[in-house]
Amino acid sequence: MPAPGAVPLPGRDPGRRRKGAPGRPGSDADRQRTQRTQRSRRQVFNREDIYQGAARAGRGRKRKMSSRKGAKTQLTTPAAHKRVVRVDGTISVGQLGQEMGVKTNELIRKLMGMGVMATMNQQIDVDTASLLATEYDYEVKNVEFDEDAVLSGPADAQKVEADPDAVLRAPVVTVMGHVDHGKTTLLDRIRKANVASGEAGGITQHIGAYKVQVGDGKSVVFLDTPGHAAFTAMRARGASVTDLVVLIVAADDGVMPQTVESINHAKAAGVPLVVAINKIDKPGVDPERIKQELTKYEVVPEEWGGDTMCVPVSALSGQGIDELLENLALQAEILELKANPKKEAYGRVVEARVEKGRGPVCTVLVQEGTLKQGDYIVSGDHYGRVRAMLDHTGQRLKEAGPATPVEVQGLNGVPSAGDGFHVVKNEKDAKRVVSSRTDRARAQRSSTQGANAADLLANMGKVDKEVQNLILKTDVAGSYEAIRHSLEELGNDEVEVKIVHGGVGVISESDVTLATASEAKIIGFNVGPDTNAKRAADQGGVEILRFSVIYDVLDTVRDMLSGLLTPETVEEHLGKVEVRAVFHIQKVGAVAGSFVTEGKVVRGAHARVFRDGKLVGQGRISTLKRFKDDVREVATGYECGLSVDGYKDVQEGDTIEVFDLKLVKRKIDD
Ligand code: GDP
């Protein structure tokens, strides 16, 4: 169980797993849908991979595809006594073989024939399993539990737009900036000012988020888990809850490394910025200088023709704070953030911990719908019933609508920050979701990572440029610029390098979190990670590469890019045979008594049958015999008996070309 607020490992939430796709406010559902597709692409081979693979496997795409289809129809016809394999979402190649009584190697070979490299433990999806199963006259039945059918979930942006029940909601804001520039002071100031006006006594509780009123009925939600750790950690889970970032810059200090980092975090997440130039109460400070500095990072103030609001404030004296809040509300109006309060609630966990006497307690940001006391809830691997809800003033609530942070009691465990928070109809559904999630997580842990092959293949079908995200840290500014420039020049029209963040200094924990969020690798040039960064990288499986020679950096990144290139399928000629007689053998069917005139014939290899120089059929060599014995291969000058799977009409005088298909990695310089 991760500590509250700890950076969660990717994929911790088995239900809605991460993918750091940049998220515009309101597009949560879209993002989740793509996440889900991407997830299945990455971890599980699907039918598309196979078609892509098959398309590449032949020189002529059309011919290959149609002949494959032809083969399929032949094999699927007599389906009177089809046997059934039940698949729970995905199944490993080995398990499928077992269920059908087929050797795993044979299945692996079949998959290879379709252009998919899979290991025995590789999970394949229902469609892929069906394709394989039909070849053995099996039918695949998907018995996966569909948790989306019982969970409350985010509506996609277009639906919200068209939903007559959708109303404007408050924006959710994260404050980011360099250490000591005033994040905590600002958040405290805003919270206290608000509470003092509304409540007697002004006691506030830290629950990780709070909502403040801004003038005529408008409100703004602040996440006050300070710093960018929470923001990025959530984004690492694909859970961008932030609509706006307040970038705080101390006027007496200016743009500092973490300021730049914050800008990059916000940009990477596609979240608009509002700049608060802080500490303007100090004598001799010049807000204009700060604006000037910010332009270097493509943050251009509105008054200078850009699109970023800059508000001078003093978190200490309170000067400018109201104006900042009004500006946030204004920005939110531009974004037109909407949600339907009449649905069952859906949200995200902001913070969670176990409290003595209260049990697991978590702060949830309700994003849509209305959460009610007594609702059955599911989050991560945990479920329960809302026993009590408190707001940040310690007041008990019976209901919480969209864009409301509440502290919820009643889950049976502690979820992680960023986990989805769903309402279900009853306890039975809640238990089913959790048990299906735990099963799935277990299945995934047990499947070994055919990572390289999987990555290769996941990359196969994509048309867009593949991007290698990098974080570059160096010891001096000169080498940073030089390396960055050279790295960015490395790409071609298929792949490119994107430096999502970088600068001078040691590799920090925040660099590692950003790397997780953007699926980046970290490059340290004459610098290494500090202790926290090293631990976070080990935990999160983030790769940190260290160098002291520029050429080595370039070579390594060139190799990375080569790895992103779609591999090429190359045909390797194995041999040629002449058919001298055709026999009919019971069970096997037509066997071509042949003579190997060139190279060799190998069982399982691909074959093309030619008659009078014309291609008449193709398939795999399914039987290969020397006299009565099955053999693996037969060399030049020998006779053999063979049959071609998928082509039964071999005739005397035909020639058969035998070949293999190999996936060959390409190099970026090719
Ligand atoms: P954080 O690290 O960004 O959370 O920064 P803090 O909020 O802890 O502030 C760092 C220091 O700056 C503290 O000593 C604050 O009192 C001081 N500080 C914050 N805001 C202001 C301000 O508007 N004016 C002045 N003079 N000092 C400030």
Q: Of the given ranges (231-245, 335-349, 442-456, 541-555), which has the lowest mean pLDDT?
A: 442-456
Q: Which atom of ligand 1 is nearest to the CA of 181?
A: 3
- Whether 316 is in the pocket of ligand 1, judged by its Cβ within 6 Å, is yes
Average pLDDT of the residues in 477-494:
83
Q: Is the CB of 404 under 6 A from ligand 1?
A: no
| Average pLDDT, integer, range 640-662 | 90
Who has greater pLDDT, 518 or 130? Answer: 130
373 lines ligand 1 (CB under 6 A): no
Please tell me the distance between residue 245's alpha carbon and the centre of ligand 1 in angstroms.
Answer: 18
For ligand 1, say whether the CB of 252 is within 6 Å of any of its atoms: no
Three-state secondary structure call for residue 76: helix
pLDDT at residue number 383: 94
- Nearest CA to 528 out of 517, 550, 541, 512 is that of 512
Q: Is residue 217 scored above 90 in pLDDT?
A: no
Q: Which residues are CB-contacts of 103 (< 8 A; sequence separation ≥ 6)?
A: 97
The yes-or-no verdict on residue 576 having pLDDT over 50 is yes
- Write the residue with the smallest CA distance to atom 11 of ligand 1: 180
Q: Which residue has the higher pLDDT, 149 or 303?
A: 303
Atom of ligand 1 nearest to the CA of 317: 23
Cα distance between residue 577 and residue 131, in whole Å: 31
Lowest mean pLDDT among 3-7, 89-93, 95-99: 3-7
**CA–CA gap between residue 422 and residue 22 (Å, rounded):** 22
Crossing angle (nearest 10°) for helices 550-564 and 477-488: 30
Query: pLDDT for 268-288, tens place per residue?
Result: 888 899 999 999 999 999 999
Higher pLDDT, 36 or 598: 598
Percent of the chain with pLDDT strictly greater than 90? 33
Hey, how many other C-beta atoms are within 10 angstroms of the C-beta on 91?
Answer: 26
Q: Is the CB of 189 under 6 A from ligand 1?
A: no
Query: What's the confidence (pLDDT) of residue 157?
Result: 66
> What is the predicted pLDDT for the residue at 225?
66
396-421, pLDDT tens digit by residue? 999 999 999 999 999 998 887 778 89
Structure tokens at 510: 């925040």
**Predicted TM-score (pTM) of this structure:** 0.56
Supply the residue whose CA is at minimum distance from atom 25 of ligand 1. Answer: 279
The model's confidence at residue 46, banded by pLDDT at 50, 70 and 90, is low
Q: Is 185 in the pocket of ligand 1 (CB under 6 A)?
A: yes
* 181 C-beta closer than 6 A to ligand 1: yes
Cα 419 to middle of ligand 1, angstroms: 32
Give me the chain's average pLDDT, please: 79
Is 80 exceeded by the pLDDT of residue 322? yes
Confidence of residue 351 (pLDDT cuts 50, 70, 90): confident
- Residue range 253-260: average pLDDT? 90
- Ligand 1 in reach of 282 Cβ (< 6 A): yes
Segment 623-642 mean pLDDT: 91
Higher pLDDT, 1 or 487: 487
Establish whether residue 165 lines the binding site of ligand 1, counting it when its CB lies within 6 angstroms of any ligand atom: no
Mutate to test the pocket of ligand 1, among 175, 180, 185, 191 (most ligand atoms within 8 A of CB): 185
Q: Identify which of 180, 224, 258, 290 to mutate to test ligand 1's pocket (most ligand atoms within 8 A of the CB).
A: 180
Closest CA to 550 of 501, 486, 495: 486
